[in-house]
Chains A and B, each alone.
Chain A
Amino acid sequence: MPQGNERFARYVDLYLGRGLYLHWQRTPNYKTLRFDFVISHPLRRPDNAHLALVGRLCERGTRLLPDMQSLNRAADNLYGAYYTVDIGSMADRQFLHVALELLDPRFVAAGEREELLLRALDMVHQIAMDPLREGDGYKASYLEQEKRALTAHIHSLYNDKMAYAQWRCAREMDGDCFAGLPAQVEDVAAVDPPDLWDFQTELMRNGEIHFYASGWIHPAQISTIAERVQTWRQARPNPVVGSVSPVEAPAARCVFECGEVNQSRLVCGYGVALPDSAADYARLLLFNTIWGGEAQSLLFRRLREERGLCYYIDSQIDAFAGRAYVLAGIDRQDYSRVVEEIDRALEDVANESIEESGFEQGRALLQHRIAALCEDRDALIRMNLRGHFAGMRMGGEELLRLVGALSVRDMAIAARQVVFSLAYLLHDRSAVGKNST
């Protein structure tokens, strides 16, 4: 059994040139190898609709595996290799993320070990960069079908009332500039085949590519991976430097919307000062844990356990997008009381009126979560990307150290940087108001 001796098996970063980065993590802790291909692009309308469609078309087939069924069968035959294609956003970037996880060759039949890694690498490349095409573009019928599917997916956001409420809140906060995910239906409808192909070509030529490899990979295999990945891009791109634009919080207001719900969904949106350093980021993480992010948080304890005002309440901070949200499922008649309580909790943190024991519990819990990051590949990749896009490198050990140095006063500093912007309420038909502001 190979031994791992690093506490945090973080990724080793290597710039390969041509806008290509290779990150690897050699660890015996997994039973799988995993490859992640991430290509990024500025987050803006209507490019978010373009990228969403490119992602969906990645799953429709490649030049060599020309339909979804052949693609899925090829994955199954790699011992159930599991692939996903996702679109994500972070700060002012959006990205296409193709992940493929396959069994470590130690666990497959001896005769099939040799080629497994290269076959998997090739499959990632095909899915991400070599889509099925018809003439000089995407297959038209597939594109039309995926436009319908994406539209249905966007509409179906309404099925999850809390996710819908959060999306509406974010959209109200940003107005026409809103470029969050999922994309807007009108932007999807406007996509035409040549434009989308141009977008894809440009993205693959110039987008910054981060390729992650993790598992019990022999150093010689890392060289093979580096060589192989370098061949994926010939042209020299115009590098796009990750940067974060300041985010301003719009003036405070509330929006009520009527829907078929048994329970009202409240989402309060806030503007947050963007972190300038890893220390700022750590402070925001702990602030969120104390405020509403955990079962020991002020919001959970006060609104659910003490007042019985809700079952579900949660706070979330998207630090590099400069946004924070509080989400709750409430009875509509409790709206004012709940908003007041949320405000009061924020004020109490800002005034340092929180118990030391609650603060220490939050810190211990957050430290456990950070420690657990080293076994969560998705979280490690997000951390690595976040550091790259925001221009601040931070690993798990550093975050642990920074969180360990924080005080109640730091929480007050963080709370004062969280500015209320918008309360959005999705309520039932007999509710408090109609689209009032």
Chain B
Amino acid sequence: MRRSACHEIDEEFYAGRCAQGAEVWIIPKGHARQIVVQLRVGLGGLHRLDGVDAMGIAHFIEHRLFEKAYGDMSDRFAALGGDVNASTGLASTDYTVSCSSHWEEHIDMLCELVFAGYWDGEAIARERDIVASEIKLYQDDPDWVGYHSCLYSAYGEQAIVREIAGDEALLSGLDADLLQRWHAAYYRPENTSLFVSGNVDPHRVVVVFEEALRRHGKELRAGTRRSSPRAEPPDGALPAVSTPAAVRYPQVFMAFPDGGPRCPPRTIGRELALEIALDMAMGPASDAFARLYESGLVLGDSFSAEVHLEQAYGFCMIAAETHCPDSFVEAVYRALSADWRSDEWGEDFTRARRKVYGQVVRSFESADGCVEMMSAARQLGGQPFDYVQLLRQLSMADVADGFAYCLNTRRAGVAHLNPMQVPV
């Protein structure tokens, strides 16, 4: 295993690879009560197989894997005090367990959970109802509707825009054969990464993981790691989308997709640059935010501005409740269109970089924070301590690139949620 240390934040990091090809990343935390283990499988909504994309399928597999012939696997985690959960994203599916003890058994059970499929027809039918219920639940969530609608305006008809849980038509077409085929193609040791943080011996983690893979993944053939297709924005955004929704006040969602002909690769450095760019332009200490709030253009505490960046895709999203959606959009455009290559931003840049430094150090405070940092770094082709080192090297020119290739008003997708009748 390769060991590296970051004295600045007083942490160590171990990286290695199992005999079966799976990656293992560990940040030991001797004093932590909590141990967090995440097994990442490189299958997300953007992946494809036989010309079909994984939207709906990856998520359904994630749901189904919890049930085995003998019952629900989460009971076995619970019996050892393990809190297990899973989530499907655009580029991966993550299975995470947090526990205070028995981490060796939990790693073994995670491997069984992930690699041992049980594709019973009756259970699949029951799962369709559960996922259909989940989809309906999200359809009532204005944030979810706004998120997808503005991505549609930015990207058009691309997989990134679709509902990760699928839709009823897709669900009705899912059967054991199809799920098994996808599972066999993607759920392979060489397509997985294990992230661990807590009071563990890194070398022991590798031994335990290799044994678990031998036990539960032995029938899987060797292959190569599959990369996901990229979601790249078209040259210009589509018209704004207007959607009626059960909300009290109008809401605006704006997506700024990362891309374009000379766009630099999506790396940790770019993520940091975008965080700083967004904070300088629209953060709580920015001139633009002060104006938006003081003028009443933003209602209550509804304003949000976020960076979403992985190697396969990237975008920033800005959203708010407002009485005047058009004025809000104009104000955001105005704020983003400043001359970011001029010398006047030095003080703001220093402030925002200092703030992001604080956030990065804080992220390594807990075991679950460390797992999140490893997971995020892996998605961007780097390593967790790169966040500390690259932040030091970042310049205002990198931030200006963030405005040019991502926070670019020409490619912004906009969605308006308009209130339907609501109870008095």
Contacts and interface: CB of A to CB of B under 8 A. Distances in A.
B365 interface: yes
B10 A1 contact: yes
Given A364-B80, A371-B33, A375-B34, A156 B302 contact: yes
A262 B140 contact: yes
B100 A371 contact: yes
A263 B78 contact: no
A262 B244 CA distance: 13
B137 A311 contact: yes
A310 B133 contact: yes
Contact of A79 (B133, B139, B293, B355): B355
A155 interface: yes
A417 to B, nearest CB: 25
A149 B303 CA distance: 12
Contact of B140 (A1, A156, A258, A261): A261
Interface string B284-299: 1111011001101001
Chain B interface size band reads 35 or more
A374 B299 contact: no
A4 B280 CA distance: 39
Interface stretch (B17-25, B213-221, B245-253, B399-407): B245-253
Contacts of A106: 10
The listed residue with most B CB atoms (<10 A of its CB), out of A257, A294, A368, A375, is A368
Nearest to A376: B366
A263 B137 contact: yes
B357 interface: yes
B81 A103 contact: no
A360 B81 CA distance: 10
B142 A102 contact: no
Interface string B140-184: 111000000000000000000000000000000000000000000
Interface in B361-390: 361-362, 364-367
B79 A357 contact: yes
A305 B33 contact: no
A14 interface: no
Interface in A243-268: 257-263
Contacts of A257: 423
Interface stretch (B124-132, B202-210, B233-241): B124-132
The listed residue with most B CB atoms (<10 A of its CB), out of A69, A160, A357, is A69
B32 A29 contact: yes
B82 interface: yes
A103 B358 contact: yes
Contact of A368 (B81, B358, B365): B81
Given A31-B365, A82-B358, A69 B290 contact: yes
A382 B216 CA distance: 42
Nearest to A146: B300
Nearest to B293: A68
A375 B98 CA distance: 13
A31 B364 contact: yes
Contacts of B142: 159
A145 B357 contact: no
Nearest to A362: B78
A308 B355 CA distance: 46
B75 interface: yes
A165 B299 CA distance: 22
A148 B364 CA distance: 39
B299 A329 contact: no
Given A156-B321, A263-B139, A368-B81, A296 B300 contact: no
B74 interface: yes
A161 B142 CA distance: 10
A31 B9 contact: yes
B351 A263 contact: no
A81 B358 contact: yes
Contacts of B283: 72
A43 B245 CA distance: 34
A159 B33 contact: no
Contact of B248 (A28, A76, A156, A369): A156
B396 interface: no
A156 B80 CA distance: 41
Contacts of B245: 260
Contact of A152 (B8, B139, B249, B423): B249
B130 A311 contact: yes
B192 to A, nearest CB: 23
Contacts of A149: 299-301
Contacts of A301: 72
16 contacts: A3-B31, A78-B358, A79-B354, A82-B358, A103-B362, A156-B248, A159-B246, A259-B246, A261-B140, A305-B72, A305-B126, A308-B129, A309-B133, A357-B75, A371-B34, A372-B33
Given A78-B358, A360-B79, 15 more contacts: A4-B31, A30-B365, A67-B290, A76-B352, A80-B354, A156-B302, A260-B246, A260-B422, A263-B136, A263-B139, A295-B84, A305-B130, A362-B78, A364-B81, A368-B98
Interface of A: 1, 3-4, 7, 28-32, 67-69, 72-73, 75-82, 101-103, 106-107, 145, 148-150, 152-153, 155-156, 158-161, 257-263, 294-296, 301, 304-305, 308-312, 329-331, 357-358, 360-362, 364-365, 367-369, 371-372, 374-375
